[in-house]
A and B are shown apart, each in its own frame.
Chain A
Amino acid sequence: MAKYWKFATLIVVIIGTLVWLAFAGAGESKTYYKTIAELKQMGDKAGTKRLRVAGDVEKDSIVRRGGEVEFTLVGENHRLRVIYTGTEPLPDTFRDGAQALAEGKLGPDGAFHAGKIQAKCASKYAPAQPGQPSAGPAPKTS
């Protein structure tokens, strides 16, 4: 029986370590999905958690200053000033009107300091393209 105890102990130790790593590490790398409206309601708590906020990039709001990029996210009639300071280059799909996902923390200055931006190009699947009259109709099954 002794050998089974050895196995059991080893297995418990390994699994235990992994579970501990998984839960002890979760706190710092948790990111909460919030809408801009929810974020505004969070009040003081908003500054402590890492958040992921989605919205549309307001037209002509993108300003680049050296390594920093500032823009405004719009969603459900709420606006949020975002300052991007991450090291990764902004995705190529990030531009006026794109749907963007900003990840970071709300700063004391009221601006959202993002370390990561994901963007989906909104116009990719737009059916009509100017100058191509025949490109109008939406796909239908024949």
Chain B
Amino acid sequence: MENLGSLAVLLAFCLAVYAVIGSVVGRLRRNPFLIVSAERAVYSVWLLITVAAGVLVHALLTSDFRFAYVAQTSNRAMSQSYKFAAWWGGQEGSLLFWSWLLSCYAAVAVWTNRKKVRDAMPYTVAILMTTQTFFLILNAFVVSPFQMLAEDGSIVAVTDGMGLNPLLQYPLMRIHPPILYLGYVGMVVPFAFAIGALITRQPGDRWIHVTRRWSLITWLFQGMGVLLGAAWAYAALGWGGYWAWDPVENASLLPWLSSTAFLHSVMMQEKKGMMKVWNAVLVSASFFLCIFGTLLTRSGIVSSVHAFAQSPIGNYFVAFLAVGVAATTYLILDRLDFLKSESQLESVVSRESSFLFNNLILLASCFAVLWGTLFPVISEYITGEKISLDAPWYNRLMIPIGLFLLFLTGVGPLFAWRRTSLESLRRNFLIPGIAGLLLTAAFFAAGMRNFYALISFGFCLFVALTVVGEFYKGSRAISQKNQMSFARAVVELTHRNTRRYGGYLVHMGIVLMFVGFTGAAFNQDKTAEVKIGDAFQLGHYTLKVREITDGDNENYTWQHAKIDVFKNGEQLDTLEPERQYYKASKQPIGRVDIRRRINEDLYVNFASMGSDESKAVIQAYIFPLVNWIWFGAKVVLFGTLICLIPSKVKLQYARTEVVGIAKKNVPVEA
């Protein structure tokens, strides 16, 4: 079996190399047979990597401990679903997973475009397969998952494996890595099409239309992957943080920031033929940041709680990045004439300028996060001292950036193209603006003194109302014109221009998430050593440790606490945090219990037994509004799905005209 896996990876490597050479030579010599054979090689690569992945998954599921990888990441007592998840639980497996996802994407991209963009397609295939080749080199020659345990030259099996890291044995962990990877890997497709278009000097912005759905889906996966990671950290790590500006978290955020910028600035290219260079740069940056993120996670160049041990693959990634970035930079510089802008900026208060600032801010934040993440490396290189920048530094920088972005989210979509009249500013922003100010004033009067929280709540209401206003105005017009109910009109409105109204929904989700982030300004916590039967106070809750029981199953031993929660003398709930000790990996771990409510979460961790057996150390936290983050994420998901539905009214780039009433808002086009 293991030989089949190794062989499949090797063959896939050969075919990927063939696909690169075949498609480029075929394109240069105008040989359609060669081009088609290269495309078929892409499908074969997919098939072969699927076989290899199948071998590894089979070994994991059947606990074949002759495989070094299986012995390291799995053990007999684990449930089947975690055994499956062990596929991406370690270095070798997760790189094979990367490869496999890449081959899936490549196969689908080639299949769906087999009759389109023929002249640029060979280069797209070449880019896809070059990346594939790189990962297959790692899979086949550097960190093969098909290494066997051997003794005196013969293969042996251990009786049981060491088990998946207990922190990863958590339900969310079964989906967080695949989702994030889908986002990471997916970025290669828009990049490959963009490069293909650049090489062949394809006129117009066809590559943007071809890859719009890809970019959007990839962006969605990235965002959801990051948020699932945050949700996992919140529920699994025991201190209730969902974001700590850890290098690996940053690595997952970086490509999201740049692809968010990309999603916005492509609209400028579609509508006005502007920012072409910028878009080429952004799509490349997003792709390379994805690779960089994988490098950061896998090589251990910066110390992180997530990072795996030091490993040799870092150099390979650095080499790939260096060559890739250099080649892309050269290509973009060489094609500057072809990327010339077709129109110019006209006014500071215009849609164009709001896109410009959106991009500027997203890119600045991307650069800031990158700078902070690499600061230990940079400072060691320059001063010889290794210095790291911590969460307060990021917060100091990122909170104002976030708030400015939130503000742009509100005003940007309502600015008209080219320039915006004072009259339309007043009409669109008067009510939301006043409401936002009133809310801030009300919170201030109620005693809230946190500067950023006050601003954030004000902005959140402001943006939410502008979004609601857009839906309301449009739907009212439709319902009056067609005599349909208001709810029906909302659906109709959204369906007529899914991109625009889906986008508004995404913005709404972001607003909800900001409400949740702002709640962190009011967190409370308390650590107490309590005798069993005694109670302690946190905020308006009284927590009473009722009993502690212990027990055992084949995977771990556990101590289970029952803590009754009282508020104003009335019992609300019983929280049951647990401590587990995993036998295979010999690791203890805490499992928290959370009482989730819309206004706040009560979060309880059973930290350890106390100084004697009758006492327990309990950590309790109140996290206001944190639920809004997860709810906002669902709204973002829903909004993005709406964006993916084709609009009912076919327009090159649908605008306010669809609604019927907004025409006078827009200055007449020249």
Contacts and interface: CB of A to CB of B under 8 A. Distances in A.
Interface of A: 3-4, 6-7, 10-11, 14-15, 17-18, 21-22, 25-26, 28-33, 50, 52, 64-67, 87-93, 95, 101, 118, 121, 123-125, 132, 134-137, 139-142
Contact of A32 (B361, B385, B610): B385
Contacts of A28: 392-393
Given A26-B389, A89-B590, A137-B149, 17 more contacts: A3-B346, A11-B360, A18-B368, A18-B400, A22-B368, A25-B397, A31-B389, A33-B386, A33-B388, A52-B388, A87-B239, A89-B527, A89-B619, A92-B166, A137-B150, A139-B148, A141-B148
B147 A123 contact: no
B11 interface: no
B568 interface: no
B333 interface: no
A89 B388 contact: no
Shortest 4 CB-CB distances between A and B: which pairs?
Answer: A142-B148, A139-B68, A33-B386, A29-B393
Contacts of B388: 30-31, 33, 52
Nearest to A119: B305
A93 to B, nearest CB: 7
A137 B357 contact: no
B387 interface: yes
Interface in B593-624: 605, 607-608, 610-611, 617, 619
B529 A26 contact: no
18 contacts: A3-B345, A3-B346, A14-B364, A21-B396, A25-B393, A28-B393, A32-B385, A33-B386, A33-B387, A64-B611, A88-B238, A91-B305, A118-B305, A121-B587, A134-B156, A134-B158, A140-B147, A142-B148
A67 B607 CA distance: 11
A91 B236 CA distance: 11
Interface string B502-519: 000000000000000000
Nearest to B146: A142
A29 B238 contact: no
Contact of A124 (B157, B397, B585): B585
Interface in B382-421: 385-393, 396-397, 400-401, 404
A123 B305 contact: no
B321 interface: no
Interface of A is mostly: mixed
Nearest to B390: A29
Contacts of A101: 303
A26 B151 CA distance: 53
A29 B385 contact: no
B492 interface: no
Nearest to A88: B239
A131 B236 CA distance: 31
Interface in B143-165: 144, 147-151, 155-160, 162, 165
B155 A142 contact: yes
Contacts of A135: 158-160
B353 interface: yes
A130 B168 CA distance: 25
Given A89-B590, A132-B159, A142 B150 contact: yes
A30 to B, nearest CB: 5
A123 to B, nearest CB: 6
B151 A89 contact: no
Most A-side CB within 10 Å, residue of B2, B147, B396: B396
Contact of A10 (B147, B348, B400): B348
A7 B360 CA distance: 12
B392 A137 contact: no
A90 B353 CA distance: 48
A15 B401 CA distance: 11
Contacts of A4: 345
B587 A93 contact: yes
A33 B587 contact: no
